[in-house]
Amino acid sequence: MTTATWTSQGHLLGLETLSSAQLRSIVGDAEAFLPIVHGTMPDASLLEGRVVANLFLENSTRTRVSFSVAAHRLGAEVVDLLGSSASTSKGESLVDTASNIAAMGVDGIVIRCAASGGAELLAQHVNVPVINAGDGRHEHPTQGLLDLMTLLQHFGGELAGRSIAIVGDIASSRVARSNLWSLTALGADVVLVGPPTLVPAEFASVVPEEAGRGAVSISHDLDAVLESVDAVMMLRIQFERHDGDGIPDDYRERFGLDVERAGRMADGVPVLHPGPINRGLELAPEVADGPRSLILRQVTNGVAVRMAVLAGLLASDG
């Protein structure tokens, strides 16, 4: 394995600075790992003898387990430090905790934390690769990569000219932010959909206008965009970040993707969701489990993407 060309000083902190070529490079590496994920090829030994620390200071199931499975598939050992079990719960700073973990000889740190910019802060203070598994309302780069991979698979490798709707709690979503950078970098237009309280107007100008980059727009009417988009990504309403404020009482009626709404979408328009799903609120069970759904493919691709990222950053000759 050669040195990964997409790294930012040996870390993966976000997708904002990555070019379309760099994004495609990671997805290409992930595609090569899919046979291992599917069990049709044996596990690799690229990270044999390496130790990966999962420092998850916010609740997570899918992302943490996905990173663990990815590391094991590559031959690495994994140490989990979760929420109340980490010393940050005793008042120790995030930097001190990470510095001590690095001093124990781990080869990389996967970090999820509530502080936007927390992953970058760690990267400035430790001498091992840092992978951002979600920092506050900033970014969730591996989720953005697996979503990109899933859509590229569905659309035959090209997104230019496609219109992707991201629906729901945009204000709280680090997933939406990472997807804005990755999808528009490959030429897709993104329309952010939700009530004004959850889709702030400033999101329309987050991504700069550049040649070859897709545009970002905002709509507060899901029904008005459903029949014109090429894919729909639903987001979880993050009640824990709102304290009950900003979520309309009629959210499900106005923005939930139920069977009737899904039936008005063009043939072949897929539905995605980063999980976990508030079933019956943002997404009806029949749609989540139906023929349009790419949700389980997202999960599978997530392991391959995290294998690609771990291998690119931690392999002995990477």
Residues designated catalytic: 62-63, 90, 112, 140
Phi and psi angles of residue 218, each rounded to the nearest 5 degrees, phi first? -125, 140
Integer Cα distance of 111 and 63 in angstroms? 11
What residues have CB less than 8 Å from 7, skipping those under 6 apart? 129, 312, 313
Amino acid occupying residue 201: A
Which residues pair with residue 219 across a beta bridge?
A: 193
Report yes or no: 80 and 51 within 8 Å, Cβ to Cβ. no
Name the residue with tokens 């394995």.
Answer: 1
Cα-based torsion angle of the residue sequence 53, 57, 61, 62 in order, rounded to the nearest 10 degrees: -70
